[in-house]
Amino acid sequence: MSKILEEVLAANQSYAGSFGAKSDLALPPARRFAILTCMDARLDPAKYAGLSEGDAHVIRNAGGRATDDAIRSLVISHKLLGTLEWFVVHHTNCGMELFADEVIADLLDDDLGTASFDGKAWSNPHHRGGHAAGHFIKWQTIGDQDESVALDVRRIREHPLVPKSIPIYGYIYDVRTGRLEEVKAASEAGRVAASAA
Ligand SMILES: [Zn+2]
């Protein structure tokens, strides 16, 4: 068994051992909100936003981007599970700022193994052959965090399946301080129109 697999199963055994009243949690999130955020390992939404099991939906992907699939989850989150407020949280020092679509596509075309980054450019340690499929994916890279949060909030706000009554807040998590900083233009774009309140 891999070391990681062993560690995860041991941790789970201890978690389940003191599961207690969590077995009675309801399916819909008790605090009726959702967070869309990046998969970055340094971000722990349960900690930075004070969540316990059962409190809120957390939707994560590379960058915390408002992709079709993230929007699918948000629509379900409201329509079937009753969330009423949404957060989009990107963060400083995001890996999605470190490459462009053609960079990852070229790397994948050359080799599928993990590439290395020297602080400026990416390169493949091996060249065993990859695949061209990466050229057909939009990777949702980030040029500017403020812009990406505002753009994603706007995309969600303007989606035809998202009710105008849901406020969408835009924030950037600072990986050096643990603080959430509001992106005013994003929260502005995500605010509830007076007629929908
Ligand atoms: Zn990130």
Cα 12 from Cα 7, distance rounded (Å): 9
Cβ density class 86-109: b for 16+ within 10 Å, e for less: bbbbbbeebebbbbeeebbbbbbb
Distance of CA 170 to the CA centre of its chain: 12
Residue 169 above 80 pLDDT? yes
pLDDT confidence of 195, banded at 50, 70, 90?
confident
Helix axes of 68-79 and 145-157: crossing angle, nearest 10 degrees: 50
Cα of 88 vs centre of ligand 1, distance in Å, is 12
Cα 52 from Cα 20, distance rounded (Å): 13
Cα of 116 vs centre of ligand 1, distance in Å, is 17
Q: Which residues surround ligand 1, an ion (CB under 5 A)?
A: 38, 40, 94
Cα of 35 vs centre of ligand 1, distance in Å, is 14
The whole-number pLDDT of residue 196 equals: 67
Query: In which element (H, E) is residue 168 found?
Result: strand 168-173
Distance of CA 62 to the CA centre of its chain: 6
The whole-number pLDDT of residue 182 equals: 98
Residue 83 above 80 pLDDT? yes
pLDDT, the chain, mean: 97
Residue 85 above 70 pLDDT? yes
The mean per-residue pLDDT over the stretch 16-41 comes to 97
The whole-number pLDDT of residue 135 equals: 98
DSSP 42: T
Cα 135 from Cα 105, distance rounded (Å): 5
